[in-house]
Copies of this chain bind each other. A is one copy, B any other.
Amino acid sequence: MAEHEAAREQALDAAERLFYGRGIQAVGMDAVRDASGVSLKRLYRLFPSKEALVLQFLRRRDERWRQALARHVDAYTAPDDRLLAVFDRLHTWFCEPDYRGCAFVNSFGELGGVSAEVADQARRHKQAFRDYLAALVEDSGLPAELTDQLFLLAEGAITTAAITGTAAPALHARTAARLLVRAHRQHAPAVPDSVP
């Protein structure tokens, strides 16, 4: 029954491409069928409803997005490089040809007011990203207040890149991040008193 898994993946691939590119409500199940080659009957056996497909799409996207970020960050070892690598990853993301912002922000805007589950997915995704940033900040020996500041820069860059259609916001966010890191170091300098 690997057939089953393959169809599931095809369906989710198509759903992701369509939902992300055109918005969720603008995409019918017929469009998912046409794009995936998975018949309606099978679609409804794999996912009990469109809402289930949407939530699955969001779950998978969250996982993959965070994996891609971590993979990029893990190419660096120096804590400060790792912090800034987040913004490099944003830059390459923004350069993808059909970049259209954060799927979770978009879904939240479209359905957050009407579907509690979608709103929850968005909250969880952002929370996970913030937690990840917090760990990087702590590894750098920087104060925790920096986390939210960097998070806001990243978040702002994500939506600004989408709306303006350019990747420059990643660079602006990166410079701002460097300035903030430096500012925080000046008030509570180098720090590392590890291994007491």
Interface residues of A (CB under 8 A from B): 21-23, 25-26, 100-101, 104-114, 119, 122-123, 126, 145, 148-149, 151-157, 159-160, 162-164, 168-169, 172-173, 175-176, 179-180, 182-184
B contact residues around A153 at 8 Å (CB) = 149, 152-153, 156, 176
Contact flag A145-B108 (CB < 8 Å), given A21-B113, A113-B26, A122-B163: no
In the assembled complex, 26 residue pairs joining A and B whose CB atoms fall closer than 8 Å, in A order, are: A22-B113, A25-B25, A25-B110, A100-B113, A101-B108, A104-B163, A106-B110, A109-B109, A112-B163, A126-B164, A149-B153, A149-B175, A151-B160, A152-B153, A152-B156, A152-B160, A152-B169, A152-B173, A152-B176, A154-B156, A155-B160, A156-B159, A179-B180, A179-B183, A180-B183, A182-B183
Contact flag A108-B163 (CB < 8 Å), given A155-B155, A176-B180, A180-B180: yes
Within the complex, what minimum Cβ distance (angstroms) separates A92 from chain B?
18
B contact residues around A180 at 8 Å (CB) = 176, 179-180, 183
- Complex Cα distance, B180 from A151, in Å, reads 15
Question: How many copies of this protein are present in the complex?
Answer: 2
- Where chain A touches its partner, the secondary structure class is helix
- Complex Cα distance, B173 from A173, in Å, reads 13
Q: Is the CB of B108 within 8 A of A164?
A: no
Q: Is the CB of A145 within 8 A of B23?
A: no
Within the complex, what minimum Cβ distance (angstroms) separates A109 from chain B?
3
Within the complex, what minimum Cβ distance (angstroms) separates A158 from chain B?
8
Chain B residue nearest to A177 in the complex (CB): B149
Q: Which of B101, B152, B163 contacts A123 (CB 8 A)?
A: B163
B contact residues around A25 at 8 Å (CB) = 25-26, 110
Q: Which of B22, B100, B122, B163 contacts A126 (CB 8 A)?
A: B163
